[in-house]
Structure 1
Amino acid sequence: MRVLLLATLVNAFGNGAYLTTSVLFLTTVAGLSPATIAAGLSAGAAAGVLAVTPLGYVADRYGPKRLSILSMIVLAGSYTALLAVHSLMPFILLSCLIAVATALVKSANGALAAGSVPAASRLTMRARLRTMTNAGMGLGTLAGSIPLLLHTPVAYAVILLVNAATFLVAAVLVARVPGVAPQTTPVGGPRLVALRDRPFLAFAALDGLISSTYNDLLGIGLPLWLATGAHAPLWLISVALVINTAGCVLLQVRMTRGVDGLAAARRVALRGSALVALSCAIFAIAAGRSPWLAGTLIATAAVVHVLGELWLSTGSWAVLFAMAPPWAQGQYQGAYFAGRGLGDMVAPPLVTACVLGLHGSGWLVLAALFAGGGLLYLPLTRWAAGTRSAASSPALPEPATPHP
């Protein structure tokens, strides 16, 4: 567990540093236009969504450890190859390769984490991984601010190479983790069982939309709102993001305590969606207030938002682990991330349209989305429970015996 957490921290640090400078690297060093960047990233996102579930099956079939190491080596080489990209088609090809390898990392690492600990500890393990991810991204963002101050091509290229190096370091660390035995699909059953599990696919689509939207509230919605609607100081964006990062790092593991099974998962998901809906309503009433009152309201909304986010993420992981058979963790992880990928395509224009097009009313529309979405977790988890017998429940069996 400690090795996986350290590998996650190292890799998240590199990702955070590169994401901070990626657009400037691609425009100033690679010389790509914004339209080219958008086309490449969109193509990569589509490739990742299509590949993530089949690659999860591959991780189950051949063992998640070796697939995780392989994909991280591919990512290290792919990011390094960006130094030689200066036109559309090479950028699209590399974006697709990066997206597919990232999809494999997510599926393989999810299956590796799930198989490395007892079933009762999977939720806590997932929470610790997310804590390390947030901590690493935060530290990487700080490191990425240095080339922003220097604003030289060399500085941006160094950050790119640092990110590539963190994939190699993470691969070396994962090589020290005991492997999870390859899983075999039950005789007579479909190989891609996750794509035939209608309750799970419905859950993945709903959770992907909800999760992507609450992530974009602070990254997209709040900056647009402060600039065009609330007319409050823009430094409040940093305040909200600091509150969110601190809450995720300090409270994520605590929020998983006592959550076990589908019934507990839907309770915390409903509680989390209600709190995120409340935070949207608080954002809405910040418009037109004095700077100190607007700041107080936005800070309060950020606190409420992060508590809701933590409960929602805990609930979604608990549903994932409860619905996935022990022999198909990788492909269920893949289908889960495919839902998140689809949500990432929908959420940015949705949040932008609500905040810019509807202004204060748009925040209330988003609040209704979270409240209504939270209520849908109830029938979805009941539907899932009705399709699973006690004998096939993944919460009961232990993972396969690890081997080197």
Structure 2
Amino acid sequence: MTTTSPRAPGMATLARHPVIRVLSAAMLVNTLGNGLFMTTSALLFTRAVGMTPSQVGFALALGGVFGIASGVPMGRVADRFGARPTVVALLGAEGVLILGYTQVHSFWTAVPLICGVTFLDRGASAVRNALVAHALPAELRMPGRAFLRMMTNAGVGVGAALASLALVVDTPSAYRTIVVLDAVTFVLAAVLLTRVPAGRPAGDAASGGGGFGALTDVPYLVITVLAGVLVLQQGILEVGVPLWVTRETHAPRLLVSACLVLNTALVIALQVRMSRGAEDPRVAARACLRAGTLMAVGCLLFGLAKGPDPWTASALILGALALQTVGEVLCAAGTWALSYELADERAHGVYQGVFNSGFAAGVLLGPLVVTQTALRHGMAGWLVFGALFLVTAVAFVPATRGAAANRPAWEKAPA
């Protein structure tokens, strides 16, 4: 278990670090492509492929299931052959597969492609997290991840802005052009990641207790489930805010865009700063406690926004969104630290694969939970959602204490 560094590196130091510089460049390129595609994907599938909105929803949900299933096997491959070659291969394959979106013209041809792309994407995400663990010293993992998340939000924001050009043109050809550009970003990111130090493959860990051990590490699985519950919060921003603001409050519709901008700006401004010191599992657990508490209060404010005049409703929604975003930042910092600090150093691929599967499950279920609680039952639903966050937040402290007190035997074994 690592200890908190006495002096957390600043932004300038992180930006100059050679490994973080390469990782952040690859992340910026890749997420710029993600921003392009995320902004136009619904229109691509409906206008270019010819799918109905319900078919798009079903296909994306099924793809999400495949994404949940990819983390562990891809993590095992990374432990066996090395994180760098695995993530490079996954990104390259995903770039090629994404090009298939330019050739599909029906629901039945799009579904397997969406499932395949999502499988590769979530697997690459898990392996990329393992690459951070292998390529960076322990004291730089957390600040490095925070810096990379900042670059992720910047890349998605720039990509979304550029995608507006395709929205203006609004033709199938424009949306297919976005697909090609997105595919290119995956290939460029893969090329950039070849410059990251390969590290030592953990294949020999299998004989020493590695392998798929994360699936039987109950304390780690508990932390993974708790983190997945807090990740449900993403469904609030993606689905809850747009529908709640436009259907249930007197706030102006433009507030939806303002919320997205505020969320992005706060993450970029706060992620590195609020991740400092979280390397210590006790600090990380307290960060998760604060995160869930803020999310719960944010749910209460969202519920109160129904009924008041437009100015009051807008103030409540922006306040709720700010609290939710700070909670999101703290949650990311705390759960990242726990995912690294409680993992077997010899099998980061599988451990990050397990953790990433929990994250993917939270992302998949978030829209469903928010629609079945807050959007269906109003204030009562928001209170239920908030209570779920609060109970989960409180559980992090004893769960982390128990996991740290019952470290498996591999912790005492030489790496």
Q: TM-score range by the shorter chain?
A: over 0.9
Aligned to 2:338: 319
Alignment of 1:108-123 (within 5 A): 108-123=127-142
8 Å CA contact 1:59–1:107 kept in 2: the answer is: no
Please report how far the alpha carbon of residue 48 of structure 1 lies from its aligned counterpart in structure 2 after TM superposition: 1.9
Aligned to 1:191: 211
Secondary structure of 1:185's counterpart equals helix
For the residues of structure 2 that align with 1:34 and 1:255, how far apart are their CA atoms?
39
Please report how far the alpha carbon of residue 100 of structure 1 lies from its aligned counterpart in structure 2 after TM superposition: 1.9
8 Å CA contact 1:205–1:342 kept in 2: the answer is: no
Q: Encode CA deviations 1:12-69: one digit per residue, 9 max, x unaligned.
A: 0001111110111112112223343333323322222122111101111101111111
8 Å CA contact 1:57–1:191 kept in 2: the answer is: yes
- 2:82 equivalent to 1:59: no
Please report how far the alpha carbon of residue 188 of structure 1 lies from its aligned counterpart in structure 2 after TM superposition: 5.1
Aligned residues: 395
Please report how far the alpha carbon of residue 390 of structure 1 lies from its aligned counterpart in structure 2 after TM superposition: 8.8
Alignment of 1:377-392 (within 5 A): 377-388=396-407, 392=411
- Compared with structure 1, are the counterparts of its residues 132 and 311 closer, same or farther at alpha carbon in structure 2 (3 Å cutoff)? same
8 Å CA contact 2:288–2:330 kept in 1: the answer is: yes
Query: For structure 1, which segment, 213-222 or 87-96, has the greater mean C-alpha deviation from structure 2 after superposition?
Result: 87-96
Extract unaligned runs of 5+ from structure 2: 1-19
Secondary structure of 2:373's counterpart equals helix
For the residues of structure 2 that align with 1:389 and 1:79, how far apart are their CA atoms?
41
Which among 54, 58, 61 is matched to residue 42 of structure 1?
Answer: 61
- Compared with structure 1, are the counterparts of its residues 106 and 364 closer, same or farther at alpha carbon in structure 2 (3 Å cutoff)? same
Of all paired residues, the percent bearing the same amino acid is: 37
- Compared with structure 1, are the counterparts of its residues 389 and 42 closer, same or farther at alpha carbon in structure 2 (3 Å cutoff)? closer
Q: Encode CA deviations 1:308-357: one digit per residue, 9 max, x unaligned.
A: 11111111111111111111111111111111122223221110122222
- Compared with structure 1, are the counterparts of its residues 96 and 366 closer, same or farther at alpha carbon in structure 2 (3 Å cutoff)? same
With structure 2 as the length reference, what TM-score do the two structures score? 0.91
Aligned to 2:226: 206
Query: For structure 1, which segment, 290-299 or 74-83, has the greater mean C-alpha deviation from structure 2 after superposition?
Result: 290-299
Extract unaligned runs of 5+ from structure 1: 398-404
Which among 371, 374, 385 is matched to residue 393 of structure 2?
Answer: 374
- Compared with structure 1, are the counterparts of its residues 271 and 88 closer, same or farther at alpha carbon in structure 2 (3 Å cutoff)? same
Q: Which amino acid aligns with 1:199?
A: P
- Compared with structure 1, are the counterparts of its residues 272 and 30 closer, same or farther at alpha carbon in structure 2 (3 Å cutoff)? same
For the residues of structure 1 that align with 2:376 and 2:293, how far apart are their CA atoms?
24
Which among 357, 360, 364 is matched to residue 379 of structure 2?
Answer: 360
Aligned to 1:332: 351
Aligned to 2:16: none
Alignment of 1:126-145 (within 5 A): 126-145=145-164
Secondary structure of 1:187's counterpart equals helix
Alignment of 1:214-229 (within 5 A): 214-229=233-248
Aligned to 1:400: none
- 2:18 equivalent to 1:9: no
Aligned to 2:11: none
- Compared with structure 1, are the counterparts of its residues 393 and 281 closer, same or farther at alpha carbon in structure 2 (3 Å cutoff)? farther
Aligned to 2:43: 24
Aligned to 2:7: none
With structure 1 as the length reference, what TM-score do the two structures score? 0.93
- 2:271 equivalent to 1:271: no
8 Å CA contact 2:69–2:357 kept in 1: the answer is: yes
8 Å CA contact 1:229–1:287 kept in 2: the answer is: yes
Please report how far the alpha carbon of residue 381 of structure 1 lies from its aligned counterpart in structure 2 after TM superposition: 0.8
For the residues of structure 2 that align with 1:188 and 1:143, how far apart are their CA atoms?
49
Aligned to 1:33: 52
For the residues of structure 2 that align with 1:24 and 1:205, how far apart are their CA atoms?
33
